[in-house]
C-alpha cells in the first residue's frame, strides 16, 4: 500500500514538472496582459533545442540552457506581433505554435536524414537524490529523489510568488496587466514590461519542454509535447493566475496526465480504456471553466493591445 | 472584439498578396539556411501541384476540406468568436460519418447524404458546448475549444478501438452506398481521389455568403461581431447568436471531416495526433479576410502549397514541414498587419518625393 502511494506520488511529480514550468511561464506573460496560447509551441521548441544540443555536446545542462534561449527567441515574434504590431494575441499565439512545430520537425528531418525524430539522447539528466531527505518514507522518493528540473520548478514557483507580490518589478508587471494606463502614468513602460514578461515566458516554457526530451523522455519527436502546453495553460487558468494556484493545479493535472500510466501499472485499463484516462485533464478543465470550482478572474487588461493615446 | 473587427477590415487584395510573398520568402530563407535550393523546391511544388491531370485532381481534393474549415473559422470570426475547435469538430464529423457509413443500410445517394449531414450535425453539436459556455458563463471559447479538440481525438480513438472494431487500429471500409467518390470525375483526373467534397465545399461558400449578407440572422451575426453591446441595446439576442454562430461554424467543420472520410479515406483509423486540417482553416480564414470568396481563393493557395509541398520532398529533398513554416509566417504577417505597415511606409515615401 505504501509502495503504491509512493509510486503514484513519484509519477505525479514527474509528470507535473514540465507543466509547472510552462504554467509559470504563462503566468508572467498573462499577468502582464499578453495572452500566451503559444506555450505549446514554446515547449516544443524547448524540447527540440534541449535534445539536439545535448546530443551534440553530451552535456544536458547545456541542453537546458539552449531550451531557454530557444524559448526566448520564439517568444520574441509573439511579442513583436502582439505588443508592437498590436496583432490579436490569440492568433499570434496560434501562429507561433505552427511555427515552432513546423521548424522543429523540419530541422530534425534535415539534421537526421529525413527521420522525424532525433536519435536517443544518451546523456540525459538523471535523478538527484538529496541525502537524508530522500529516505523519508512515501514523500522522500517523490520529492527528494527527483530530476534537477523538478527542483528547478519548485524553486521557480517560490521565486515567482516572491517576485510577483514582494518586489517592485512584480508589482509593476501586475499593474501593467491590470491597468496599463495607470502604470504608464506612474512611469512604468508598458511596452518594455510586456516584452520582458513574454520573454521570461519563453524561457520557462522552453525549460518545461526540455524536461520532456532530456529528463522524462530521451528523444524529440512530433508527439513529445502532445498538448502539454495547452494543459499548462489550463493549469494557469485553473489556478486563477496565481503562482501557488497554478502550481497546485499543475500538480493536479500532472496526476491526471500520469493516470494513464498509473492505470496501466495497476491494471485499471481492464475496466477503463486508457483513452478515457487521457481525456481527464481536458474534461476537468472544461468542468472547472464552467464554474464548478468557482469563477476565475483573468487580469483585467489581458488580450488588449496597449495604445498610448487611448483611454 | 475591436481586434476582431480590425481583422475583418484588413481584407484588401494587396495585404493578402504581400503576406503570401513574405511567407514564401521566410520559407525560402529556411531552405537556404539548411542548404536547399528554394528555386528548385518552389519550382517543383507548383509544377507538381498543377500541371498533370492526376495532380490537379489531388490538389482539388486537398483544397475541398480547407475551404470548409476556412469557412468555419471565418464565420465564427465574423461574430467575434475564435473557433480553434475546428479540428475537434472535424474529427467528430469523421466519426459520425464513419458510424453512419458502417452501421446504416440505405440506398445509394441517400446513404451518402445522410452520412454527410450526420457529420455536419456532429460538428455542430461539438461546437454547441463552447458556444453555450461563452454565452451563458462568459468562458473564453478559445480554451474550451482547445480542450474539446483533445477530447474529440481520444473519443474517436476509443470508439474505433472498442466499439467500431474489436481492438483493431482502423475500421472496415464504409459501405459503397455512402461513398462520395464518383468514378466519372476520378477518371477525368487520371484516377485522382477527387470526390463530391469540392461541390459541397463550394455550395457551403455560397451558403455562408447568402446567410451572412442576405438574411436577417446573418445581419445580426455580423452586428454582434462588430459591437456586441450595441447589438444587445438594439434588441438582438447576443447569447443566442453566439451559440448559433458556433454551431454553424461547427457544422462546416463537421462537413469537412465527413467529406474527407466518405470521399478520400473511406475508413477511420486510430490517430496519434491531429490532422492539422482544422488548424489550417485558421490560416485560410485569416488570409481570406473572412469572406467566402477570399476563403475559397486562399484555400486554393494553401491546398496547392500542401499538396505540392508533399511532392517537393521527392523532387528537392526539402522536408514538407517548411510549408508549415510558410503557413505560420503568413498568419503572423496577416495578424500583425505587416503588409499594411509596409504599404504605409511606401505611401509616405511617395508623398515625401512628391513634396
ipTM field: 0.90
Predicted confidence at residue B7, as pLDDT, reads 47
Specify the pLDDT at position A309: 62
Residue B74, min C-alpha distance to chain A (Å): 13
Helix (H, G, I), strand (E, B) or coil at B177: helix
- Determine whether the interchain pair B151/A222 forms a contact, defined as Cβ–Cβ distance below 8 Å: no
Select, from the ranges A39-53, A180-194, B5-19, the one with the highest average predicted confidence (pLDDT).
A39-53
- Grid cell of A25 as nine digits: 511561464
What percent of chain A stands above pLDDT 90?
A: 63
Instruction: Report the range of poorest mean pLDDT among A22-26, A133-137, B200-204.
Output: A133-137
pLDDT of residue B49: 79
What is the average per-residue pLDDT within A37-62? 96
Q: How far is CA B125 from the centre of its chain?
A: 18
| Secondary structure of residue A16 in the 3-state scheme | helix
Residue ranges for chain B with pLDDT beneath 70 = 1-12, 353-355
Of the pLDDT bands very low, low, confident and very high (cuts 50, 70, 90), residue A296 is low
* Count of pairs with CB atoms under 8 A, one residue in A, one in B: 142
Nearest to A95 among B321, B322, B335 (CB): B335
Cell 482502423 locates to: B170
Contact list, B147 vs chain A (CB under 8 Å): 230, 234, 282-283, 285-286
A 200-259 residues with CB < 8 A to B: 222-223, 226-227, 230, 233-234, 237
Instruction: Tell me how close the Cα of B189 comes to any Cα of chain A, in angstroms.
Output: 31
A73 lies within 8 A of chain B by CB = no
Strands A128-129 and A145-146: antiparallel
Chain A positions touching B337 (Cβ under 8 A) are 85, 87
| Termini Cα distance of chain A | 61
Please give the grid coordinates belonging to residue A129: 537524490
3-class SS of residue A293: coil
Three cell numbers at B144? Answer: 474550451
Where does the pLDDT of residue A311 fall: very low under 50, low under 70, confident under 90, or very high at 90 and above? very low
* CA angle in degrees (0–180, nearest 5) for B327-B150-B137: 100
A294 and B CB contact within 8 Å = no
Nearest CA in chain B to A287: B144
Does residue A146 surpass a pLDDT of 90? no
User: Residue B3 is nearest to which of A88, A276, A282, comparing CB atoms?
Assistant: A88
Q: Which residues contact B204 (CB under 8 A, 6 or more apart)?
A: B67, B68, B71, B252, B255
pLDDT for the residue A174: 95
Is A96 part of the contact surface with chain B (CB cutoff 8 Å)? Answer: yes
Cα separation of the two ends of chain B: 39
| Contacts with B139 from chain A: Cβ below 8 Å | 289-291
Cβ contact, residue pair A230, B329, below 8 Å: no
CB contact under 8 A, A87 and B335: yes
A306's enclosing H/E stretch is none
Chain A positions in Cβ-Cβ contact with residue B157 (cut-off 8 Å):
275
Predicted local distance difference test score (pLDDT) of residue B117? 98
SS3 content of chain B, % helix, strand, coil (to 5): 80, 0, 20
Q: Is A110 an interface residue toward B (CB < 8 Å)? A: yes
Asked whether A89 and A34 are in contact (CB, 8 A), the reply is: yes
Our CA-based measurement puts residue A32 at a distance from the nearest CA of chain B, in whole angstroms, of 18
High-pLDDT (> 70) share of chain A, %: 97
- What SS3 string covers B240-278? HHHHHHHHHHHHHHHHHHHHHHHHHHCCCECCCCCCCHH
Write down the residue that cell numbers 461581431 correspond to: B225
A88·B146 Cβ contact <8 A: no
Reply yes or no on whether the pLDDT at A14 is more than 60. yes
- Angstrom distance (rounded) from CA B37 to CA A200: 36
- Residues on chain B touching A107 (C-beta within 8 angstroms): 34
User: Chain B interface, mutation test: which of A48, A79, A99, A224, most B Cβ atoms within 10 Å?
Assistant: A99
Is pLDDT above 70 for A75?
Answer: yes
Output the pLDDT for position B8: 46
Write out chain B residues lying below 8 Å of A114, CB-based.
317, 319
Of A82, A98, A275, the CB nearest to B158: A275
B-interface mutation test, from A91, A306, A311, most B Cβ less than 10 A away:
A91
Q: Which of A164-178, A254-268, A284-298 shows the lowest mean pLDDT across its residues? A: A284-298
Is the CB of residue B196 less than 8 Å from the CB of residue B180? Answer: yes
Nearest chain B residue to A289, by CA: B139
Which cell numbers in the block locate residue B299?
484555400
Q: How far does the CA of residue A91 sit from the closest CA of chain B (Å)?
A: 7
Q: Pick from A162, A13, A36: which is nearest to A100 by CA?
A: A36
Nearest to B147 among A94, A96, A282 (CB): A282
Residue with cell string 494556484: A245
Instruction: Read off the pLDDT of each residue in A113-129 and give the average, rounded to a whole number.
Output: 89
Helix, strand, or coil here: A267?
coil
Distance between CA B20 and CA B300 in Å, rounded?
13
Of A37, A106, A273, the CB nearest to B319: A106
Q: For the segment A266-275, what is each residue's pLDDT rounded down to a tens digit?
A: 777 788 888 8
Tell me the nearest-neighbour CA distance from B121 into chain A, angstroms.
21
Q: Which residue has the higher pLDDT, B157 or A223?
A: B157
| pLDDT, position B161 | 93
Where do the H-state alpha helices sit in A266-296?
274-287
User: Burial code of A220-242, b = ≥16 C-beta within 10 A, e = fewer?
Assistant: bbbebbbbbbbbbbbbbbbbbbb
- The length of chain B is 355
Q: For residue A60, what pLDDT is reported?
A: 95
Task: State whether A37 and B142 contact (CB < 8 Å).
Answer: yes
- Give the distance from CA A199 to its chain's centroid: 13
Report CB contact under 8 Å: A273, B137.
Answer: no
Q: Which pLDDT belongs to residue A77?
A: 95
Amino acid at each position: 500500500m505504501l509502495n503504491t502511494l509512493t509510486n503514484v506520488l513519484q509519477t505525479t511529480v514527474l509528470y507535473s514538472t514540465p507543466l509547472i514550468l510552462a504554467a509559470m511561464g504563462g503566468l508572467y506573460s498573462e499577468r502582464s496582459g499578453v495572452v500566451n496560447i503559444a506555450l505549446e509551441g514554446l515547449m516544443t521548441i524547448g524540447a527540440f533545442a534541449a535534445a539536439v544540443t545535448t546530443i551534440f555536446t553530451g552535456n544536458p545542462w547545456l541542453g537546458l540552457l539552449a531550451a531557454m534561449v530557444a524559448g526566448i527567441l520564439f517568444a520574441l515574434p509573439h511579442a513583436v506581433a502582439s505588443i508592437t504590431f498590436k496583432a490579436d494575441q490569440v492568433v499570434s499565439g496560434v501562429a507561433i505554435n505552427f511555427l515552432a512545430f513546423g521548424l522543429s520537425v523540419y530541422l530534425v528531418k534535415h539534421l537526421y536524414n529525413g527521420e522525424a525524430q532525433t536519435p536517443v539522447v544518451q546523456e540525459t539528466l538523471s535523478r538527484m537524490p538529496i541525502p537524508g531527505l530522500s529516505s523519508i518514507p512515501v514523500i522522500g522518493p517523490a520529492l527528494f529523489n527527483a530530476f534537477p528540473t523538478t527542483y528547478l520548478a519548485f524553486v521557480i514557483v517560490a521565486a515567482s510568488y516572491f517576485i510577483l507580490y514582494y518586489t517592485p518589478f512584480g508589482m509593476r508587471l501586475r499593474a501593467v496587466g491590470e491597468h496599463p494606463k495607470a502604470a504608464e502614468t506612474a512611469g512604468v513602460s508598458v511596452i518594455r514590461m510586456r516584452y520582458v514578461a513574454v520573454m521570461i515566458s519563453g524561457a520557462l516554457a522552453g525549460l518545461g519542454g526540455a524536461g520532456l526530451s532530456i529528463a522524462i523522455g530521451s528523444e524529440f519527436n512530433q508527439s513529445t509535447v502532445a498538448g502539454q502546453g495547452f494543459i499548462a495553460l489550463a493549469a494557469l487558468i485553473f489556478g486563477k493566475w496565481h503562482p501557488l494556484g497554478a502550481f497546485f493545479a499543475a500538480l493536479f493535472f500532472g496526476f491526471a496526465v500520469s493516470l494513464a500510466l498509473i492505470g496501466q501499472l495497476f491494471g485499471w485499463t481492464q475496466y477503463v480504456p486508457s483513452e478515457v484516462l487521457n481525456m481527464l485533464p481536458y474534461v476537468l478543465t472544461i468542468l472547472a471553466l464552467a464554474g464548478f470550482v468557482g469563477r476565475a478572474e483573468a487580469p483585467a487588461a489581458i488580450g488588449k493591445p496597449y495604445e498610448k493615446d487611448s483611454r | 472584439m475591436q481586434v476582431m473587427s480590425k481583422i475583418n477590415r484588413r481584407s484588401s487584395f494587396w495585404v493578402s498578396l504581400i503576406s503570401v510573398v513574405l511567407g514564401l520568402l521566410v520559407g525560402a530563407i529556411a531552405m537556404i539556411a539548411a542548404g536547399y535550393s528554394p528555386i528548385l523546391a518552389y519550382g517543383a511544388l507548383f509544377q507538381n501541384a498543377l500541371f498533370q491531370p492526376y495532380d490537379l485532381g489531388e490538389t482539388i481534393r486537398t483544397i475541398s476540406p480547407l475551404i470548409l474549415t476556412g469557412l468555419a473559422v471565418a464565420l465564427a470570426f465574423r461574430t467575434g468568436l475564435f473557433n480553434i475547435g475546428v479540428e475537434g469538430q472535424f474529427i467528430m464529423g469523421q466519426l459520425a460519418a464513419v458510424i453512419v457509413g458502417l452501421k446504416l443500410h440505405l440506398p445509394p445517394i441517400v446513404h451518402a447524404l445522410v452520412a454527410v449531414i450526420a457529420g455536419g450535425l456532429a460538428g455542430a453539436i461539438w461546437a454547441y458546448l463552447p458556444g453555450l459556455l461563452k454565452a451563458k458563463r462568459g468562458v473564453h471559447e478559445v480554451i474550451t475549444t482547445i480542450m474539446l479538440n483533445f477530447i474529440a481525438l481520444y473519443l474517436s480513438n476509443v470508439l474505433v478501438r472498442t466499439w467500431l472494431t474489436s481492438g483493431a487500429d482502423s475500421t472496415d471500409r464504409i459501405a459503397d452506398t455512402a461513398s462520395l467518390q464518383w468514378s466519372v470525375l476520378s477518371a477525368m483526373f487520371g484516377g485522382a481521389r477527387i470526390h463530391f467534397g469540392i461541390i459541397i465545399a463550394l455550395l457551403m461558400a455560397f451558403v455562408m455568403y447568402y446567410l451572412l449578407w442576405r438574411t436577417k440572422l446573418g445581419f445580426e451575426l455580423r452586428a454582434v461581431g462588430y459591437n456586441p453591446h450595441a447589438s444587445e441595446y438594439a434588441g438582438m439576442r447576443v447569447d443566442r447568436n453566439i451559440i448559433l454562430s458556433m454551431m454553424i461554424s461547427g457544422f462546416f467543420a463537421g462537413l469537412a471531416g465527413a467529406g474527407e472520410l466518405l470521399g478520400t479515406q473511406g475508413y477511420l483509423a486510430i490517430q496519434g495526433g491531429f490532422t492539422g486540417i482544422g488548424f489550417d482553416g485558421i490560416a485560410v480564414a485569416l488570409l481570406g479576410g473572412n469572406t467566402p470568396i477570399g476563403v475559397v481563393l486562399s484555400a486554393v493557395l494553401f491546398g496547392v502549397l500542401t499538396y505540392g509541398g508533399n511532392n517537393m520532398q521527392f523532387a528537392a529533398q526539402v522536408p514538407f514541414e517548411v510549408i508549415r513554416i510558410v503557413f505560420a509566417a503568413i498568419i503572423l504577417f496577416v495578424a500583425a498587419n505587416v503588409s499594411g505597415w509596409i504599404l504605409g511606409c511606401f505611401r509616405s515615401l511617395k508623398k515625401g518625393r512628391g513634396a
